[in-house]
Chains A and B, each alone.
Chain A
């Protein structure tokens, strides 16, 4: 249990509690044992495949290429062939309804241990959705809510057939950009058709050779790709660790560029608002004070935090009570909280004007399509209260309540949960490879859809199940999920936490009522 507040007591206006509990030693030993057995059998199967005792179902080199440099011998391919394939049925599950709080799943079975699948034709209805990034519940099919979207669809159609710089800038884009700028409280904003491409295509436009990028250890692939494409020097600091960041900043300023020791042209810090695999929130006040002291720039990727944290849903900047002028480049996506697709970059007018001319995305990528832009406009107007109702604020509050309830109950039950108490992304640690498959399959049997994450996306010993709480989840749905988790946690022995609070809070509540009488 980490509590912040002593060293930088004046920077944080409310307590910042994050949990990254380590599991007991026997868990790590058993995890390695499981991977050991899996690896031994992996080698056995590879041997059988190489000597023709078993059919080869996965990509191999052609006969003529056997003497070339081997393509599929590295660990990633070995892992994919032998461990991932065995539990592959828990990913890429096709759904056939809107990914709201509940969805319909197409049932599929495998006859040859997950190498091929076939659909039985049946549909599993009303599976509780704990995996979609539907934080505010805007992924809905309610006709009244989507009225403006349908009119825009009939007015504009779906295709743009052009890039922003040619003929692809519609009045809808201008309206959306003005609305985004007003929502965030900045001068100007620019929207792009794809969230991943927003990061990977705009970072190369902002930094180049001779610049320094300081990026967090656990940044998303889009940020890493954008940083690598830019050609700048990249240095990595430990996750959310301000001492590490300050050391890097001091070294950068004292020693300059590697061989010539000239000053860096630009130093930019890449962080995310909420990290989607850990559920941790960035320590923004400390980063901003560091950036002001050492004169660096800050690029904040609010993909998961825009709409999800903050009193009115305006992201981590509002969550910490800071002004949006402190962050140089505010980036976010509309995929998560707004039920649409695409991303934006917001900031000072000079920055956005520069990006309009120099971004790869603006020059080459198709712009956002009009019905999607209208969906974002209506969601944002709902959030800001411009449609005359308080529905937006209610959604944000409901999300906050659901998040706190879900996290509190999971802590009480004794699971190891990572992340900040206020983040709607809840990773539940599973550790052992055998339990990944068992957990996902049994949860589906109980009609709950979860996302489990294993090796390439997380460290090899820390596989987890990641829950995304939504404002559209009712208390009954969350209770169903929690009861199922309780049962499954006892059956699979997942309650590793050594700090769990009372395991029977109902008794505690009863005694309190008695006293009040």
Chain B
């Protein structure tokens, strides 16, 4: 039963997408073109995120760790 209401909800979301982007008004071949373009863009963005985001995140983590890490060592040395 949960799957049925889930399906209905997804169908309703799809209807909203259709209405907002005017693809409700398009002929089938235009819809195909539009969805292909959208999905291609989405896949490209996700793939780029998949490749580059972990690298960027780990570099940022390294940078901040070094910044605060150095400070910690400095305070230790001053107290001494």
Q: Which residues of A contact B (CB under 8 A)?
A: 30, 33-35, 37-38, 41, 44, 83, 86-87, 113, 432-435, 437-438, 491-493
Expressed in whole angstroms, the Cα–Cα distance for A438 and B15 within the complex equals: 10
Q: How far is the CB of A425 from chain B (nearest CB, A)?
A: 26
* Closest partner residue, chain B, to A434 (CB atom): B19
- For this complex, 28 residue pairs linking A to B, each with C-beta atoms less than 8 Å apart, are A30-B20, A33-B20, A34-B20, A34-B21, A34-B22, A35-B22, A37-B21, A37-B22, A37-B23, A37-B34, A38-B22, A41-B22, A41-B34, A44-B30, A83-B25, A86-B26, A432-B20, A432-B22, A434-B18, A434-B22, A434-B23, A434-B25, A437-B24, A437-B25, A438-B24, A491-B12, A492-B19, A493-B16
Expressed in whole angstroms, the Cα–Cα distance for A432 and B17 within the complex equals: 12
Asked if B27 CB lies within 8 Å of chain A CBs, one says: yes
Expressed in whole angstroms, the Cα–Cα distance for A444 and B34 within the complex equals: 28
Expressed in whole angstroms, the Cα–Cα distance for A83 and B25 within the complex equals: 9
> Which residues of chain A have C-beta atoms less than 8 A from B16's C-beta?
493
> For this complex, into which size category does the number of interface residues on chain B fall?
10 to 19
Q: How far is the CB of B33 from chain A (nearest CB, A)?
A: 8
Expressed in whole angstroms, the Cα–Cα distance for A420 and B20 within the complex equals: 29
* Closest partner residue, chain A, to B24 (CB atom): A434
**B20, A41: Cβ atoms closer than 8 Å:** no
**Given A37-B34, A41-B30, A491-B12, is A86 in contact with B25 using a C-beta cutoff of 8 Å?**
yes
> Which residues of chain B have C-beta atoms less than 8 A from A30's C-beta?
20
Expressed in whole angstroms, the Cα–Cα distance for A113 and B29 within the complex equals: 13
**B30, A434: Cβ atoms closer than 8 Å:** no
**A87, B20: Cβ atoms closer than 8 Å:** no
Told that A37-B21, A433-B25 touch, could you supply 20 new A-B pairs with CB distance under 8 A?
Answer: A34-B20, A34-B21, A35-B22, A37-B22, A38-B22, A38-B25, A41-B22, A44-B30, A83-B25, A87-B25, A113-B27, A432-B19, A432-B20, A432-B22, A434-B21, A437-B24, A437-B25, A438-B24, A491-B12, A492-B19
> Which residues of chain B have C-beta atoms less than 8 A from A437's C-beta?
24-25
> Which residues of chain A have C-beta atoms less than 8 A from B23's C-beta?
37, 434
Give the contacting residue for A435; candidates B19, B26, B30; CB below 8 A: B19
Expressed in whole angstroms, the Cα–Cα distance for A492 and B17 within the complex equals: 11
Q: How far is the CB of B18 from chain A (nearest CB, A)?
A: 7
- Output the residue of A44, A113, A434 with the most chain B CB within 10 A: A434
Chain B positions 40-57 with a Cβ under 8 Å from a chain A Cβ: none
Q: How far is the CB of A35 from chain B (nearest CB, A)?
A: 8
Q: How far is the CB of A433 from chain B (nearest CB, A)?
A: 6
> Which residues of chain A have C-beta atoms less than 8 A from B12's C-beta?
491
* Closest partner residue, chain A, to B28 (CB atom): A113
Give the contacting residue for A33; candidates B21, B24, B27; CB below 8 A: B21
> Which residues of chain B have C-beta atoms less than 8 A from A432's C-beta?
19-20, 22
> Which residues of chain A have C-beta atoms less than 8 A from B34's C-beta?
37, 41
**A41, B21: Cβ atoms closer than 8 Å:** no
Q: How far is the CB of A56 from chain B (nearest CB, A)?
A: 16
Expressed in whole angstroms, the Cα–Cα distance for A268 and B10 within the complex equals: 58
* Closest partner residue, chain B, to A82 (CB atom): B25
> Which residues of chain B have C-beta atoms less than 8 A from A44's C-beta?
30
Q: How far is the CB of A389 from chain B (nearest CB, A)?
A: 49
Expressed in whole angstroms, the Cα–Cα distance for A33 and B18 within the complex equals: 12
Expressed in whole angstroms, the Cα–Cα distance for A60 and B18 within the complex equals: 31
Q: How far is the CB of B15 from chain A (nearest CB, A)?
A: 8
Expressed in whole angstroms, the Cα–Cα distance for A83 and B26 within the complex equals: 10
> Which residues of chain B have C-beta atoms less than 8 A from A83's C-beta?
25
